[in-house]
Structure 1
Amino acid sequence: MSHVDLKGAGLNLEFEPISRPALHFIDGQFVESAEGGWFDTLNPTTNDVLTQVAEGTASDVDRAVEAAYRAFHDGPWGKMSAKERARYLVRIADAIERHGEELARLEVADTGLPISQARGQAARAAENFRFFAEMATRMTGETFPVGDQFLNYAIRVPVGVAGLITPWNTPLMLATWKIAPCLAAGNTAVLKPAEWSPLTATKLAEIVQEVDLPPGVFNVVHGFGEVAGDALVKHPKVPLISFTGETTTGRTIMKNGSDALKRFSMELGGKSPVVVFDDADLDRALDAVVFGVYSLNGERCTAGSRLLIQDSIREEFEARLAERVRRIRLGHPLDPATEVGPLIHPEHKRRVEHYLDLGRREGATMAVGGEVPRELARGNFVRPTLFVNVRNDMCIAQEEIFGPVLVSIPFTTEEEAIQLANGVQYGLAAYIWTRDLERAHRVARRIESGMAWINSQNVRDLRTPFGGMKQSGVGREGGHYSFEFYTEWKTVHVALGQHPIPRFGVSGMETRS
């Protein structure tokens, strides 16, 4: 049976009250909106108001950008050595760890992530800062000697102010994934968090203040994407825009910033396949399939949301899969036993439920799913759902649902599996399960995705490039690949001798000895 007990068998499942509103953080200070606007942020478990959030407009964005611009051009940050910047990043990581439980519980209150998973996200946030602190000190250039005449070298230099626009799923971890390399490279930042999950960004600003990061280096402006986000994208003093979110929004952002020739890093939507061949370790593949789509409440960009299952094992695998999905523990996100909590917002719940209805109308079979119990009715809960008898041309197989919904599609041959895997607009991740390693490498190479895991769930190596193909994004982040976006190459040419210089404008003059 699914776990649905909101009382928690004696556990303390009460959310701590939030006594203060979420303010902007500009030039080292917490401030209200210039125009005085506010909006509510909701607890998705109950849909009660958690607190009010300052509603940023173009005026607030301009204040934040000017502070970041001054901090970069006139302050100490742009002039610091990489080693000095790295010390600040390590201090931020230390502070995140000190406040780890508070951050995790804020994330649960704001997003509905199960507490056990939110704690992992808080730990990863600290790891992001430690990792890029080390990477900052490893940034190197290249030299191009030309005999004894020239020494030419290329170095990486920071760009300036970066606009960082983050999504509402795992907001703490994904914010640090951008902030850490941005600051490590020597840039300054203006973060625009998603309006549905602003609380950990505010706490992160408190941590930045606690470690005495120079004012203006890191700024936060809350607000709605079409107002605050748009102002940040269009601001003339923001040359860098890093965005994680849905593909349609990414397209709009690129259009709005194109006139200024801004540089973009885009991690967008996904509809990632999990290809299970009949020679796979089915026990491990089953674990990975279930975890890959239902963890993080299904609100994961790299979720393996399309199961491509070889028809010779389809019946057995789908039956075992359905039993596992039925047993997933749906419940209060502060209960450590909960595996799936509520979706982020009533609007998103309605969107996911639309796809559940659409799947049935398209002719797919809902093998697992249905109504949630009455005791969960106040929140944005959706039962973990499995559709079988799905065709790849159905909307539920083509469009990103971004919820705890898996579709199962059969295939017969390797070639058919590859065609099905590539038969969507997205290309973020792929997962391949087979004992035939030659086939595994062959399929991984041919699937159109920025990342592929063989006989593994989504285990991240922070050194590797992260990003997608097709409509799943532009550019790569992670490891030194992040610095391809957050730095510019500068080439310096040094003459080592008296090389010949052509002389113009000397006709008729006395020849120089």
Structure 2
Amino acid sequence: MDPDSTDPRAAARPPHVPADLPRLLRHHVGGEDVDSLDGATFEVLDPVTGETYLHAAAGQAADVDRAVAAARHAFEDGPWPRMLPRERSRVLHRVADLVEQRDARLAELESFDSGLPITQALGQARRAAENFRFFADLVVAQRDDAYKVPGRQLNYVNRKPVGVAGLITPWNTPFMLESWKLGPALATGNTVVLKPAEFTPLSASLWAGIFAEAGVPTGVFNLVHGLGEEAGDALVRHPGVPLISFTGESRTGQVIFANAAPHLKGLSMELGGKSPAVVFADADLDAAIDATIFGVFSLNGERCTAGSRILVQREVYDEFVERYAAQARRVVVGPPHDPATEVGALVHPEHVAKVLRYIEIGRTEGRLVAGGGPPEGLAGSSYVAPTVFADVAPDARIFQEEIFGPVVAITPFDTDAEALALANGVRYGLAAYLWTTDLRRAHTFAQSVEAGMVWLNSNNVRDLRTPFGGVKASGLGHEGGYRSIDFYTHQQAVHVTLGDVHQPTFGKEGRPS
């Protein structure tokens, strides 16, 4: 392990613990913080030390019932669905203001709870505010279809909020991804029940205070902590929740799909990924290396859109591998709260063990050129050095399976057709990245690659106006921009006759006797 990639002072530092941490996280139902009805709790671990730092209420079906009832009451009897879009927009802009005002505290808690580097956690907190601003503006500017048949009929679309939205979020960038769902669900007039990931419940509990201060009516936002197979499953199966938005593993998505089917729920699921980054010989290698380093090692590699398979044309393959490995060894691994840290602590001991198992598998499937396990000189057991395997065959497990950590597989190719076959040769289809100066090749490849999103000579920069989602095992449906508005609303077609009624007439004369 290159000593430049770790902070030599880190081993001597005591772990950072934010001030005023709660000891118990409770559910938030109908405007009140409440314990689980059976009093059950579960442990939440500090990623750096692996030690329990708080307990959270462990929601069960009865707790979900209570939250759904509160959300349903707020939807049927409260003002939120009946407010004008401009009125809801003002409230959501106040939410964004509060998030921005508290971004440093949000980032500190998020970094501590998830292991994300503090600078990246701060960026995610600011993105959360922008998500609310975007949907607050969109719901006001939104226009719907209207068609006139001259002199005969006017046809238009009337949108209605669906009701209680069930939101199930992951642990990798929890606060930001919660905002990604909360923003459009609330902007369109729905009420919500949020079930955050059990590994990282801390920042989710801040939403209740933010919403109350911003003026969101009581009962519009409800929160149930708990395990996915308990609280999450109860939310998916609940007959009073007509739609579920889920971000997480593909296997969990399959379970949700099956359990939601009897109720014919609306589903939006952004699932796993094993995204290719394709580097052609004519690419700007400096830009491609910087982007692919960031694309897999930012957010500790715990990102669904990570370009974790790098496909490099053979003419530049050796140079790329050498330069990429050298730069990966220089990535700064350190305590999450240190502003110099680029890769922090992985979220949970279970996840660390999974990533390390894949690294051991990778030793038999590729040539290890950087990393390979925990870095030297860091206290704690949750750090994994940026790990790079070269010469990885397309049937290797580290090529085919989502690792969700700071591990990348590099594979050579010769032709455009081979690159496309390699890119499409996995069960996932979330994102793809392409590096070339040939404009025709770039667009041709983009049309053929099996991915919900493609970035050409670009890193993963999100434009909320565009759809976000994947194909194959990477998801079902899309959100972002008007796709989110579509998902969180019923679209009712209204037809109005103008002037005389134009229609056939049956039975006017009757049959002769």
Under a length normalisation based on structure 1, what TM-score does the superposition of the two structures give?
0.96
Q: Distance in 1 between matches of 2:347 and 2:303?
A: 12
For the 8 Å contact 1:140–1:156, the answer to whether it is kept is no
For the 8 Å contact 2:375–2:385, the answer to whether it is kept is no
- Relative to structure 1, the CA distance from residue 336 to residue 8 in structure 2 (aligned partners, 3 Å threshold; closer, same or farther) is farther
- How far did 1:327 drift? 0.8
Q: Distance in 2 between matches of 1:302 and 1:249?
A: 17
Say which SS state the counterpart of residue 51 (structure 1) adopts: strand
Q: Distance in 1 between matches of 2:209 and 2:238?
A: 25
1:111 matches 2:83 = no
- How far did 1:99 drift? 1.1
1:401 matches 2:408 = no
Say which SS state the counterpart of residue 376 (structure 1) adopts: coil
For the 8 Å contact 2:10–2:334, the answer to whether it is kept is no
Name the structure 2 match of 1:462.
Answer: 464
- How far did 1:379 drift? 3.4
Q: Distance in 1 between matches of 2:470 and 2:326?
A: 32
- Relative to structure 1, the CA distance from residue 342 to residue 11 in structure 2 (aligned partners, 3 Å threshold; closer, same or farther) is closer
For the 8 Å contact 1:3–1:331, the answer to whether it is kept is yes
Say which SS state the counterpart of residue 448 (structure 1) adopts: coil
1:416 matches 2:409 = no
- How far did 1:272 drift? 0.4
Name the structure 2 match of 1:171.
Answer: 174
Q: Distance in 1 between matches of 2:395 and 2:373?
A: 26
For the 8 Å contact 2:152–2:502, the answer to whether it is kept is no
Name the structure 2 match of 1:224.
Answer: 227
- How far did 1:504 drift? 6.2
Q: Distance in 1 between matches of 2:387 and 2:6?
A: 15
Unaligned stretches of 5+ residues in structure 1: none
Say which SS state the counterpart of residue 484 (structure 1) adopts: helix
Name the structure 2 match of 1:24.
Answer: 27
1:202 matches 2:169 = no
Name the structure 1 match of 2:443.
Answer: 441
- Relative to structure 1, the CA distance from residue 321 to residue 199 in structure 2 (aligned partners, 3 Å threshold; closer, same or farther) is same
- Residue 261 of structure 1 is aligned with which of 254, 260, 264? 264
Name the structure 2 match of 1:489.
Answer: 491
Output the aligned Cα RMSD. Answer: 1.8
- Residue 91 of structure 1 is aligned with which of 75, 94, 97? 94
Q: Distance in 1 between matches of 2:510 and 2:481?
A: 59
Query: Quick one: which amino acid aligns to residue 491 of structure 2?
Result: W
- Relative to structure 1, the CA distance from residue 160 to residue 139 in structure 2 (aligned partners, 3 Å threshold; closer, same or farther) is same
Q: Percent identity?
A: 55
For the 8 Å contact 1:11–1:335, the answer to whether it is kept is no
Say which SS state the counterpart of residue 409 (structure 2) adopts: strand
For the 8 Å contact 2:10–2:377, the answer to whether it is kept is no
1:54 matches 2:57 = yes
Say which SS state the counterpart of residue 25 (structure 2) adopts: coil
- Relative to structure 1, the CA distance from residue 29 to residue 278 in structure 2 (aligned partners, 3 Å threshold; closer, same or farther) is same
Query: Quick one: which amino acid aligns to residue 98 of structure 2?
Result: A
Q: Distance in 1 between matches of 2:214 and 2:467?
A: 30
Moved more, 3-12 or 236-245: 3-12
Q: Distance in 1 between matches of 2:334 and 2:264?
A: 47
- Relative to structure 1, the CA distance from residue 7 to residue 146 in structure 2 (aligned partners, 3 Å threshold; closer, same or farther) is same
Name the structure 2 match of 1:247.
Answer: 250
Query: Quick one: which amino acid aligns to residue 289 of structure 1?
Result: T
- Relative to structure 1, the CA distance from residue 508 to residue 359 in structure 2 (aligned partners, 3 Å threshold; closer, same or farther) is closer
Say which SS state the counterpart of residue 367 (structure 1) adopts: strand
Say which SS state the counterpart of residue 148 (structure 2) adopts: strand
- How far did 1:496 drift? 2.0
- How far did 1:383 drift? 1.0
Q: Distance in 2 between matches of 1:370 and 1:496?
A: 73
Q: Distance in 1 between matches of 2:120 and 2:422?
A: 31
Name the structure 1 match of 2:290.
Answer: 287
Q: Distance in 1 between matches of 2:49 and 2:356?
A: 18
Q: Distance in 1 between matches of 2:8 and 2:220?
A: 45
Say which SS state the counterpart of residue 493 (structure 2) adopts: strand
Query: Quick one: which amino acid aligns to residue 237 of structure 1?
Result: G
Name the structure 1 match of 2:146.
Answer: 143
Say which SS state the counterpart of residue 498 (structure 1) adopts: coil
- How far did 1:47 drift? 1.4
1:382-427 residue CA offsets vs partner (Å, 9 max, x unmatched):
1110001100110000000000001000000111000000000011
- How far did 1:281 drift? 0.5
- How far did 1:365 drift? 1.3
Matched ranges for 1:368-387 at <5 A: 368-373=370-375, 375-387=377-389
Q: Distance in 1 between matches of 2:13 and 2:42?
A: 34
Q: Distance in 1 between matches of 2:15 and 2:256?
A: 43
Moved more, 484-493 or 285-294: 484-493
Under a length normalisation based on structure 2, what TM-score does the superposition of the two structures give?
0.96
Matched ranges for 1:465-484 at <5 A: 465-484=467-486
For the 8 Å contact 2:325–2:369, the answer to whether it is kept is yes
Q: Distance in 2 between matches of 1:40 and 1:480?
A: 39
Q: Distance in 1 between matches of 2:448 and 2:496?
A: 45
Name the structure 1 match of 2:312.
Answer: 309
Say which SS state the counterpart of residue 405 (structure 2) adopts: coil
For the 8 Å contact 1:5–1:332, the answer to whether it is kept is no
Moved more, 228-237 or 145-154: 145-154
Name the structure 2 match of 1:274.
Answer: 277
Query: Quick one: which amino acid aligns to residue 485 of structure 1?
Result: F
Query: Quick one: which amino acid aligns to residue 353 of structure 1?
Result: L
Query: Quick one: which amino acid aligns to residue 450 of structure 1?
Result: G
Moved more, 325-334 or 152-161: 152-161
Name the structure 2 match of 1:42.
Answer: 45
Query: Quick one: which amino acid aligns to residue 127 of structure 1?
Result: E
Query: Quick one: which amino acid aligns to residue 59 of structure 2?
Result: G
Say which SS state the counterpart of residue 131 (structure 1) adopts: helix
Q: Distance in 2 between matches of 1:131 and 1:49?
A: 37
- Residue 367 of structure 2 is aligned with which of 365, 368, 373? 365
Name the structure 1 match of 2:353.
Answer: 350
Say which SS state the counterpart of residue 259 (structure 1) adopts: helix
For the 8 Å contact 1:272–1:304, the answer to whether it is kept is yes
Query: Quick one: which amino acid aligns to residue 74 of structure 2?
Result: A
Query: Quick one: which amino acid aligns to residue 49 of structure 2?
Result: T
Query: Quick one: which amino acid aligns to residue 431 of structure 2?
Result: A
For the 8 Å contact 2:6–2:376, the answer to whether it is kept is no
Say which SS state the counterpart of residue 397 (structure 1) adopts: helix
Name the structure 2 match of 1:75.
Answer: 78
Q: Distance in 2 between matches of 1:508 and 1:479?
A: 54
